[in-house]
Amino acid sequence: MVEIALETRNITKIFPETVANKDISFKLKKGEIHALLGENGAGKTTLMNILYGIYMPTSGEIFINDQKVIIRSPLDAIKLGIGMIHQHFMLVETLSVLENIILGLKEYGFVINKKTVKEKLKEIESLYSLQTDPNVKVWQTTVGEQQRIEIIKVLFRGANILILDEPTAVLTPQETQSLFKILKKMKDDGKSIIFITHKLEEVMQIADIITVLRRGKVVKTLPKYKTTKSELAQLMVGEAQDCNYLRKKRETNEIILSINKLIVYSDKGTKSLKGIDLDVKRGEILGIAGISGNGQKELVQTIAGLKKVAEGKIIFNGLDITNKHPRFISRLGINYIPADRLAMGVAPNLSGIDNAIMRRYYRFPLSKNGVMNYIKALAYTKMMAKAYKIKLDNPFAPIKLLSGGNMQKLILAREILENPKLLIASYPTRGLDIASTQFFRQKLIEIANKGKAVILLSEDLDEILSLSDRIAVMYEGSIVGILKAEKADKNTIGLMMTGAST
Amino acid sequence: MLYFEKRQSVPQRFKVVIPIISLLIGLIIGAIAVAIVGINPLDVYGGILSNAFGSWYAFSETLVAATPLILITAGLIVVFKMNIWNIGAYGQYIMGAIFSSYFALFASNGLSKPIMLSVMVTASMVGGAIWALIPTLLKIFWEVNEVITTLLLNYIALYILKFLMYGPWKNPTSYGFPLSKTFPQNAILPILFNGTRLTIGIIFALIAVLIIWFLIKKSKFGYEIRVIGDNPLAARYAGISVNRDIIIGMAISGALAGLAGMTEVSGIVHYLQVKIGADYGYTAIIVAWIAYLDPLVTILASTLFGGLASGGYSLQITMRVSYGIVGLIESITLFSLVGAQIFLNYKLRWKNGSS
Ligand SMILES: Nc1ncnc2c1ncn2[C@@H]1O[C@H](COP(=O)(O)OP(=O)(O)OP(=O)(O)O)[C@@H](O)[C@H]1O
Ligand SMILES: [Mg+2]
């Protein structure tokens, strides 16, 4: 008989406005990868936060190795051998990798013996073929590396049960594959893994068993070999989905945005854009592909007015917008969906209302002569939540209490409702469930169909390929090539992204 | 084992209950301290209470002390909400006093009282605002930390005041005391109620609170400072001119501290001197926190501290206890009030060693 590593019995979690988990009973076996699926707001993160001691359940019990436990804090969870990698990483950017790994560990004392730590680190790294340089600072590392650091950190603390909340949302397909290798190795070592994702291919590839949540309840638990992607999709939303985007042929040669010899420096003083030339046409979706850290983020932030141009020009609709104020640029009709929703997209402790009106609070009818009309603001927020199916139970509550996907939807809705002439969307569907992903992709296409333009940044090449008309590939701060979508394929783009061919 | 657990949300009633309990705890600890010195704590507290709230006159004195606190706190709230740490109300208060005194001492000839007072009010606000804008510009253009610069400017303001009081502005007939000449009659704020020292300064303070309340709760600027305070990157992203708002906020904050200085010299002291109660500038920082950065609560919190100050001061005269005792009680209560704020965000729990 296989041993049960972790079990929950009738876990219920009630928040003031929301029943996030209802009677969840769930078993995790030793040496098993258990995928947790569900729409945005289904209660996945809440359940994991309960297992990791961030929340106490309203009722219900947790068993570890058949022992009833009460987990009051992450410290308790760590002692019980549970490790969690959150939807948003929790590393200290200014510390080194090594310092991050041992942060908060008491047994290494006040004066840290770097030698013993490094030895143990080596052991773990060779066991799972994880590579890191313990001495670099975290801000110098890529997202993929940061995730490896998080994993090492968890393993270092001796975790046997590993929780990963949407770990692949920020990874490139290659990084995802190397993560899966690590997870398989852990599984072979008898560790148990709970894995949350919205990507069904990943589930089919890595999971042994799958539990689907809907509106806080378990719909079904079933082994992978007995199910299919479409059955899972059906279980999640309760109905079948089709995936055909309505595209129009949109031939136009009118240039809406023109970038000339753009040079931008990073905060650290190095050149992050090395003379970019790029035109965006009316009616097109221009995809920008590249491995993160190659200047894509800097490029779009510069267009939005959030980074200083050192040299070069940006012309929008015939108007020079180089180094103009972000408000001036957004009022011209350029809207920007930032990649990192918590860092830039929202003010996390402010209400849903305050966040929903960020783009228009200064205009009539939301404000007049410097005075806000919060009644109109509330109405606007409710309209937004309804039209874009955002699960916003209490618009007055801090936005950080929304589920990751619902927060993302609010940001998307906020920018799209401005009716932009040029929408810059970085990783727009990051963290969205299947239905919402399709809904918002359709929205992007509609914008282009209306003769407006979209710049689409994504690490998901499938997304870029299926939506874009043209694809620009960036490498080390330059555009190494622009391909027509019908002539592009994943391999060529993938090679260009690594600078292998031009 | 006792440990802290983070609260998911703060129940509203806690915001009332926790300060009251911590105030009581602070008073009890204060009582023990007083008892150790050999004074009956009941006498001391009874004395403070009756000297602060026991009669109309006592209460009016409490309001006299509360006036500058309310004004300064109202201004501090604006910048604190943006996470800008103006520690310089002390200096801004002094500059407000100096600027308004200049007109009282050297330019009062033939002006009617309303005009003279308007000039002084304006001058004090300009003086305080300038003193607040120096560190603000240093912060914006050279990224110099405002905590340090505002603090340093407090000392500079004090030395300017001392220089004037021992030098050019000194009253030749003050027998060497560092004071200016007494202000002419048209430079003195009118008394509100006969037989008290309460001036229309308290009206200024209440108007200021109302304006700040409106600014924070209802205005576009209030929305912007909320966003800036929570996430400056999101504010920039939303197209908010963060630097402009910081400049406006600091100017307001400095202007109100300056006005507080004016109400003190023109309303209470009637001349400029080295000791003009500038410590209000530091107390106000704590009052702002205890009032949860809420302008209306500020009135209550300032009155409480005004009462402690004026009650304690009278106690020293009537009961001959040293003001140090009152200072001790004041600091202990402040300490427990500020310290208790941790219970707003965390709850204390008990757990058995194993789990
Ligand atoms: N601390 C909280 N207070 C109030 N409501 C909360 C809190 N945390 C979560 N919720 C609500 O509980 C519900 C479930 O949220 P949860 O984050 O568990 O969803 P999820 O399944 O992880 O979704 P996603 O795929 O979008 O990340 C949501 O409606 C959310 O708004
Ligand atoms: Mg989640």
Residues in A closer than 8 angstroms to B3, CB to CB, are 73
CA distance, residue A441 to nearest chain B CA (Å): 23
Tokens of A96: 């080194």
B132 in Cβ contact with B250 (< 8 Å): yes
For B5, the closest of A15, A72, A361 (CB atoms) is: A72
Tokens of B105: 């001492």
- Domain A255-333+420-497: give its CATH architecture: 3-Layer(aba) Sandwich (3.40)
Catalogue the E-assigned strands of A332-469: 334-337, 367-368, 371-372, 422-426, 453-457
CA distance, residue B103 to nearest chain A CA (Å): 34
Tokens of A395: 């618009």
Per-residue pLDDT of chain A (502 residues; tens, 9 = 90+): 568 899 999 999 999 888 999 999 999 999 999 999 999 999 999 999 999 998 999 999 999 998 899 998 888 898 899 999 887 767 777 787 777 777 766 665 556 667 777 777 777 777 777 777 777 777 777 777 788 888 888 888 888 999 999 988 877 777 888 889 889 988 998 899 999 999 888 999 999 999 999 989 999 899 988 888 888 888 887 654 555 666 666 657 889 999 999 999 987 788 889 999 999 999 999 999 988 788 888 999 999 999 999 999 999 999 999 999 999 999 999 999 998 888 899 999 999 999 999 999 999 999 999 999 999 999 999 999 999 999 999 999 999 999 999 999 999 999 999 999 999 999 999 889 988 998 999 999 999 998 899 999 987 788 888 899 999 999 999 999 899 888 888 888 888 888 775 5
What spatial distance separates the first Cα and last Cα of chain B, rounded to whole Å?
11
Q: Order of strands across the sheet with A311-316?
A: A271-281, A255-265, A311-316, A319-320
Alpha carbon distance A394, A399 (integer Å): 9
Interface residue ranges in chain B relative to chain A, Cβ cutoff 8 Å: 3, 5, 8-9, 218-223, 226-227, 230-231, 233-241, 349, 351, 355
Fold match flag (A4-237 vs A255-333+420-497): yes
A435 in Cβ contact with A443 (< 8 Å): no
Could you tell me which of B268, B260, B321, B266 has the C-alpha nearest to residue B287? B260
Could you tell me which of A307, A336, A318 has the C-alpha nearest to residue A418? A336
Alpha carbon distance A201, A163 (integer Å): 19
Q: Is A477 in the pocket of ligand 1 (CB under 6 A)?
A: no
Catalogue the E-assigned strands of A65-148: 67-69, 82-85
Question: Residue A353 is inside which H or E element, if any?
Answer: helix A352-356
- Tell me the pLDDT tens digit for each residue of B23-39: 888 888 888 888 887 78
Question: Residue B333 is inside which H or E element, if any?
Answer: helix B323-339
Nearest residue on chain A to B239, judged by CA atoms?
A327
Instruction: Write down the ipTM of this complex.
Output: 0.88
DSSP three-state, residue A261: strand
pLDDT at A230: 83
Q: What angle do CA A280, A281, A284 make, to 5 degrees?
A: 100
Alpha carbon distance A290, A496 (integer Å): 8
Question: Residue A15 is inside which H or E element, if any?
Answer: none
Q: Which residues pair with B312 in a beta bridge?
A: none
pLDDT at A250: 64
- Domain A4-237: give its CATH architecture: 3-Layer(aba) Sandwich (3.40)
| CB pair distance less than 8 Å for B237 and A70 | no
Could you tell me which of A73, A448, A58, A47 has the C-alpha nearest to residue A250? A448
pLDDT at A231: 85
Q: 């992204």: which residue's tokens?
A: A497
Tokens of B339: 């310290």
Alpha carbon distance A156, A133 (integer Å): 15
Question: Residue A289 is inside which H or E element, if any?
Answer: strand A285-289
Select from A36, A44, A46 the residue to mutate for testing ligand 1; criterion: most ligand atoms less than 8 Å from CB.
A46
The DSSP secondary-structure symbol of A18 reads -
B128 in Cβ contact with B95 (< 8 Å): yes
Q: Which amino acid does the sequence have at B46?
A: G
The DSSP secondary-structure symbol of A71 reads -
The half-sphere exposure of B332 on its side-chain side, counting CA atoms within 13 A, is: 17
State in Å: Cα A407 to ligand 1 middle. Answer: 10
DSSP three-state, residue B208: helix
Nearest residue on chain B to A303, judged by CA atoms?
B237
Q: How confident is the model at residue B325 (pLDDT cuts 50, 70, 90)?
A: confident
Residue ranges of domains in chain A: 4-237, 255-333+420-497
> Best residue in A267, A355, A378, A415 to probe B by mutation, most B CBs within 10 Å?
A355
Nearest residue on chain B to A304, judged by CA atoms?
B237
3-state SS track over B241-259? CHHHHHHHHHHHHHHHHHH
Tokens of A494: 């993938």
| CB pair distance less than 8 Å for B219 and A362 | no
Alpha carbon distance B164, A416 (integer Å): 61
| CB pair distance less than 8 Å for B234 and A344 | yes
B72 in Cβ contact with B264 (< 8 Å): no
Residues 6+ apart with CB under 8 A from A289: A458, A461, A464, A471, A472, A473, A474, A493, A496, A497
Nearest residue on chain A to B230, judged by CA atoms?
A347
Residues in A closer than 8 angstroms to B355, CB to CB, are 69-72, 76, 79
